[in-house]
Structure 1
């Protein structure tokens, strides 16, 4: 039984804590640096009247292992979208120290929970520090994507993207993927305002549409940003630089960590792919850290076996770069070429031409599920996994940045928050003090 009351002696306010004899939570009180024995009455402790003490005591009260009927109350850890782990209980002194050692950890003082970057290692460590207080721990994965709310629109309300916008996009050398995205989104925007011509749509109507996307359709941050860019392009580039959309509020970018496969999961995935062509595609993406667009654009002539590297022409940002060709990858590519003999592109569809990106996504999900990988795996997951595994193997961050083709080193630095390499070797400054 746990009893807590607020006391005051000589102007000093504190919590007075009492535990009944034999309560297993006594060890937690003894291990708390803020908690001091009363010195007069047995099983009494004093704690300062602070928010840390309040949260600690709240965590103790939730631990019912020694409740009246021996009732056990399991706690539930939530894995959220963006690879975030939510811990809804007080983690104890050891747990607090671990939580505060993690990058991107956050404490919600209103709802009294922690959110941490999620990896398998972090989850295992959280379970370890919570186990003494909460013997029953459940984990719920809530990363499954929700079905997007679609707005039904009558066929007669449909408005196609103006041809001058398509022409302007191609004149300015935008990629075909960007042309398709912008024209599709601007067509959707015009269909929403079907009663007005593009020149009649006001800045307030544009802002109202952006709020509609967020509040009613619940689109993602990236989708909203793409829509803003498509609308801005038309009004600023096609209509001669009108600045009506400059003041549209952009969404705050969340700090979501990418999904990464462990080296064990990556090995199981490659072993579980029987199709030679599919296995070669996955191997090339992973070993070279490629984007899906870079893979399908790669030609047979881009491989330089003499220098063991591959030239990626006009990759994202219209930049060329080289990536290394690993020895195992070279052997697999040669075996694949001997069997399939593609004419131009390294990976071609059944009727020739570039391989379909959607086909890669589909078979990758199918094979991942078959080998027991529960994560949401896509081609970009292999790219993230390559960068993370290179970092764990001691490769310099600057080299990884060049390999991935990142302009800004901050983009590459996100992988330092996924791996825990070297965290165990960091000495906490508190341990160096003479206390």
Structure 2
């Protein structure tokens, strides 16, 4: 499809290309009796309202469709489109779920499978996203300087994050056993990375075996925990922003709300002292 060729030429990530193509296929299937060139802005707004009403899609899904449609019509038919933000459902503000430090220790101690333990350790110890961990290449792991280069992260941007020293022995044992060539976690086909579902399954199994499954924690919860615990240690929020690969500081600021939530649960030492003497 011409759309994928244009996106490839502009350096879009493979996942973004797949998402954009999917959204356009849904749109064209909805207007199956019309040529895409004949659709006007009103038609696309009507379709967006339809999927919100009939399928209950959220803000992120609406924004994805708007981005895909805008890109398609701008670059394929040379017709610029603008979707008003009022068309998207209001974003719900929800604090991310994080593990306590005690829960992280319990989780790591509960894992019997060395490969799964390395997966969990990397999610929590580096703050990587699921797709970034799956695509992590051996050449990007700098054991000398304790850092990892993440290539083509969200927004197709490269960045560096931390490599925990405590993971090095487990990583060495993993190298000796699996002998990865290109990617740290390789799939069944030579030279290809592990698929995301397999890594997600490893995280789910670890949560289940540790008894933490009931909290609904995921690989992204470990990323949130990485950021929150760094902030708890007194690290600068701008540094954390760079480690996470956020494009806007406002995205990273959500972890400050988690700190405020913790502070709200604190008891003043004076109250604690007087309460114990009552």
Question: Smaller-chain TM-score range?
Answer: 0.7 to 0.9
State whether structure 2 residue 183 is matched by structure 1 residue 345.
Answer: yes
SS of 1:347's equivalent? coil
Give the conservation status (yes or no) of the 8 Å contact 1:308–1:326.
yes
Structure 2 unaligned segments of length 5 or more: list them: 270-278
Verify the 8 A CA contact 1:392 1:421 in the aligned structure 2.
Answer: no
Shift of 1:329: 1.4
8 Å CA contact 1:312–1:323 kept in 2: the answer is yes
Q: How far apart, in 2, do the equivalents of 1:318 and 1:292 lie?
A: 15
1:407 matched to 2:247: yes
Is the partner of 1:216 in helix, strand or coil? helix
The one of 7, 10, 24 equivalent to 1:186 is 24
2:210 aligned with 1:371, yes or no? yes
State the partner residue of 2:112.
274
Structure 2 match to 1:83: none
Q: Structure 1 regions of 5+ residues with no counterpart?
A: 1-162, 428-435
Offset of residue 418 of structure 1 = 1.5
Q: Distance in 2 between matches of 1:242 and 1:386?
A: 40
- In terms of fraction of residues, the more strand-rich structure is 1
The aligned counterpart of 1:393 is 233
Q: Which runs of 4+ in 1 moved over 3 A?
A: 245-248, 420-427
Higher helix share: 2
Q: 1:237 deviation in Å?
A: 2.0
In the superposition, the TM-score normalised over structure 1's length comes to 0.57
2:155 to 305, 317, 322: 317
Which of 45, 55, 60 in structure 2 is aligned with 1:217?
55
Write out aligned runs for 1:141-290 (5 A): 163-243=1-81, 245-247=82-84, 249-290=87-128
State whether residues 288 and 323 of structure 1, in contact with CA within 8 Å, keep that contact through their aligned partners in structure 2.
Answer: yes
1:131 aligned residue: none
Secondary structure of the corresponding residue to residue 328 of structure 1: helix
Match of 1:336 among 174, 192, 203: 174
Between 1 and 2, higher relative CO (CA 8 Å, sep ≥ 6) is seen in 2
- Give yes or no for contact 1:225–1:251 (8 Å, CA) kept in 2: no
Equivalent pair of 2:134/2:199 in contact (CA under 8 Å): no
Give 1:114-129 correspondences, 5 Å limit. none
8 Å CA contact retained: 2:111, 2:209: no
Cα separation, partners in 2 of 1:368 and 1:170, compared to 1, 3 Å: same
State how far apart, in whole Å, the 2-side matches of 1:262 and 1:217 are: 36
